[in-house]
Structure 1
Amino acid sequence: MVSAELLKQDGILVIRPESPLAEDDFKSIASIVDPFIDSHGKLNGILIQAESFPGWQNFSSFVSHIKFIHEHHKKVAKIAAVSDSKFLEIAPSIASHFVKAEVKHFSAGDYDAAIDWLKA
């Protein structure tokens, strides 16, 4: 399960994975961001906040994640990973090969700094 909140005034989507990612999580996130992107052309940023990366429920969940990235990455300016997870710490260097967005890691206590960076 993933909790997702759109900060409309800032054009920032905050995602908090709470358990292994499921196919329906990406459908739910798309239903939140797609109308905003349709009316504004893009998201200023996505903030992923997680103690650790929960992985995927199954292979079809992984495929849904890749499809979501493929369909949205050109419409997102920045991505911030806020976590002390070793995986999410290295994720920006991996993601930079696959997404157009600028990707940056922040320590778990730096939520406000990540929001400020996404707004800038």
Structure 2
Amino acid sequence: MIEHHWHRNHSVLEVVPRAPLQREDFEALAQQVDPVIEEHGSLAGVLINAASFPGWEDFSGLVSHFTFVRDHHRNVHKIAVVSDQPLLGYMPRLVDHFVSADVRPFPGEERRRALEWLAEPG
């Protein structure tokens, strides 16, 4: 299950993974994101607010996650990963090679700073 919240007049999307990720989670996110990208051309940023990463419910969830990233990463300028989990702190370095967005980690207590960075031009 992924909760999501829009910030800054639909220019920044915050996602919060709450349970193992499923194919339906990414279908629901696409239904929210695609119309905004169609209207505005892109998103200023995505904030991944993850105290922990719950993983994927099954292989279908994993494939849907990668497909969603593949289909949307060119339309996102910045990605902020907010977490105190060491593994998630390294994630920006790993995905930076596969996505066109600028990806940065932020400690859990710096969520507000991450939102501010996402809203900055550039």
After TM superposition, the score normalised by the length of structure 2 is 0.95
What displacement does 1:7 show?
2.0
Runs of 4+ that moved beyond 4 A: none
Runs of 5+ consecutive residues of structure 2 not aligned to the other structure? none
Paired letter, 2:27? K
1:20 alignment partner in structure 2: 20
What displacement does 1:8 show?
5.0
Moved more, 60-69 or 3-12: 3-12
Matches within 5 A, 1:1-120: 1-9=1-9, 11-120=11-120
Runs of 5+ consecutive residues of structure 1 not aligned to the other structure? none
* CA shift digits 1:58-115 (9 cap, x unpaired): 1110000000000000000000000001121000000101100000000000011000
Q: Percent identity?
A: 42
SS in 1 for 2:70: helix
8 Å CA contact 1:41, 1:75 repeated in 2: yes
Paired letter, 1:62? L
Find the aligned partners of 2:82 and 2:8 in 1 and give their Cα distance.
20
What displacement does 1:10 show?
5.5
SS in 1 for 2:27: helix
8 Å CA contact 2:43, 2:75 repeated in 1: yes
8 Å CA contact 2:20, 2:56 repeated in 1: yes
Change (3 A) 1:8 1:113: closer
Find the aligned partners of 1:9 and 1:29 in 2 and give their Cα distance.
17
Paired residues in the alignment total 120
8 Å CA contact 2:10, 2:36 repeated in 1: no
After TM superposition, the score normalised by the length of structure 1 is 0.97
